[in-house]
Each structure stands twice: as structure tokens, then as C-alpha cells.
Amino acid sequence: MPAVASLSAAGHVWPKGLVIFPLVCAGRTSQVLVTRALELGAQGVLTAGCHPGNCRSISGNLMAAARLEAVKDMLAHMGLAPEAVGFLPLASNQTRELASAVEAMAAMAEGK
């Protein structure tokens, strides 16, 4: 969230329709949460979490990444786009990386 706040304060323009759903830890990302977002019309779900080896909860980032991979596999088996789901290792000062990942996800959702 610090990267989001920093970008927003600097006047960054987010893609239309972006919904940010803050979690205490990326490890709280569940397959149910991700699939429900997609069922409700989200064109993509991007979870940002700590870098490997730099997770305050030790393995929250690893759990989130594994759950998202499982959702990707499920989407692929259903003939849907697995790239609609992603995990972004991110530090709070990596604003450019966040902006680029969100833009890429938005472009994918628009079919660009």
C-alpha cells in the first residue's frame, strides 16, 4: 500500500476500473478470494507481496504465489487466460514496478 499511496500522491493515473483490495498480508490471498473476484467481473487479479526472503510473516508471499499458481492452473484447464492472475514481488519503494505491472494487467484485460 505504501507504493500505491506514493504513486497516487504523485498524481499517477490508474487504469479505469481498478479496484484495490488491501490485505494485511499477501498470504491472506486465497483461491476463493481470487476466483470470486473473477466471477464478479474482474478481468484480472494482481497480488503484490514481499520479495522472497524478505517476508515479515516468513512465508505469506510464498503461500500467495502458490495459491495464485493453483488458480492459474485451474483457469488454464477451463480454457481461460491464466495470465489474468499474477503475483508481483514488491517492496514499498518500487513504485515504477507496481505501475508497470498494473498497466500490463490492464492491457491484458483489454486484449492489447
- For residue 58, give the nearest of 96, 24, 90, 27 by alpha carbon: 27
Q: What's the rounded Cα separation, in Å, for the pair 1 and 86?
A: 17
Do β-strands 45-49 and 85-89 pair in parallel, antiparallel, or remain unpaired?
A: parallel
Q: Write b or e for each residue in 10-39: b if 16 or more Cβ atoms lie within 10 A of its Cβ, otherwise e.
A: eeeeeeeeeeeeebebbbbbeeeebbebbe
pLDDT attached to residue 112: 67
Q: What is the pTM of this model?
A: 0.89
- For residue 84, give the nearest of 41, 20, 30, 27 by alpha carbon: 41
pLDDT in tens, 48-102: 999 998 988 889 999 999 999 999 999 999 988 999 999 999 999 999 999 999 9
Q: Does residue 109 surpass a pLDDT of 90?
A: no
